[in-house]
Amino acid sequence: MIVELPDTTTSKITKRIVKMREQGGVVTLGRVLTLVVITRMGQEEEAIAAANLASREHPCRIIVLASGSPQEPTRLDGEIRVGGDAGASEVIVLRGHGELASESESLVSALLLPDAPIVAWWPGESPESASKSPIGRIAHRRITDSANQSDPREALRHIGASYAAGDTDLAWTRLTNWRIQLAAVLDQLDTGGPVTGLQVEGASDSPSTLLLASWLHGALKVPITVKEDPKGTGIRRVVMERAHGNVELFRPGALEAVLNQSGQPSQKLSLPRRTLEDCLAEELRRLDPDDVFGEVVTSGMDKLLAEEKVVKA
């Protein structure tokens, strides 16, 4: 069910939610957090769809701030979605125009669940500093997505420079399965000597490639080469160089990878490219700071960018 509230106020939206709850249409019991999505009008539906799917694992109240044009007369249009239109959550969409066409704590404060953690998510354009933005200041976790920026590499530099505990980025979340597989490989290396060099291959527009390279470079502390593939291909290959035979994890497509080790048969591994809702659901599982991401995106990225050798495809 979708209830439209044109030219309204947050007070009227709150009263309507209470009325719907009394009528049995909205149940807030069991909501574990408030997810605030900051986006632009026309871009909100994809984020809402991903949040709805993630909410089946993490029941929450979703508040969407979809900014309109600042040149229009000041007005707030509201929308309440419940039931089949809201997954396991309740969705409140706020479309602000004029003076309300910007991220604002005052717009969401009356709609936050009491005593529940707050997660802020910018699926598109990121703020100058997530932790110092109006919503970021009150959030326990702050999620950005450098892959959606015009210059992903510069976006990662910016995230590293403004990083605060509680910040994370979906480019890092997309690496979880790669990190699990590579950590398992490193744990099992017994012959062939130590790793003496690294090669990481991925798309030129993939910030995940740089984050993976930074993580491996920091963990193994060996020279590294980053090979840039055409845009849109994601991460494709990691090679760990050893004196008596390299170890290669290669994903030629979008679903499976092949692990090649000297003296052993090739192994096929499931390594699918992750969906937006999978990544969001993972981030909602944890509300504590991700210290590994913090180290990788700050000092790790600085060291990588200072020492890496980039090879164009």
What pTM was estimated for this model as a whole?
0.91
**What pLDDT digit, counting tens, does each position of 55-83 carry?**
888 888 999 999 998 999 999 999 999 87
* Number of neighbouring beta carbons within 10 Å of residue 193: 11
128-164 pLDDT, tens per residue?
999 999 999 999 999 999 999 988 889 999 999 999 9
Q: What gap in Å lies between CA 189 and CA 108, rounded to an integer?
A: 51
In whole angstroms, what is the distance from residue 210 CA to residue 181 CA?
Answer: 17
What region, left, alpha or beta, does residue 94 occupy, with left being phi > 0 and alpha being psi -120 to 50 degrees?
beta
Reported as half-sphere exposure (CB side, CA atoms, 13 A), residue 251 has a value of: 25
Residue 51 has pLDDT above 90, yes or no: yes
Secondary structure percentages of the chain, helix, strand, coil, to 5:
35, 30, 35
Mean pLDDT of the chain: 89
User: How many C-beta neighbours within 10 Å does residue 23 have?
Assistant: 8
Cβ atoms of 146 and 165 within 8 Å: the answer is: no
In this structure, are residues 79 and 93 in contact, taking their beta carbons and an 8 Å threshold? yes
Euclidean distance between CA atoms 121 and 166, whole angstroms: 12
Query: Can you give the pLDDT at residue 20?
Result: 81
Kindly list the domain boundaries of the chain, sorted by start residue: 2-144, 176-312
Would strands 33-40 and 118-121 be described as parallel, antiparallel, or unpaired?
Answer: parallel
Give dist(CA 98, CA 211) in Å, integer.
38
pLDDT digits (tens, 9 = 90+) for 253-290: 889 999 998 888 999 999 999 999 999 999 999 889 99
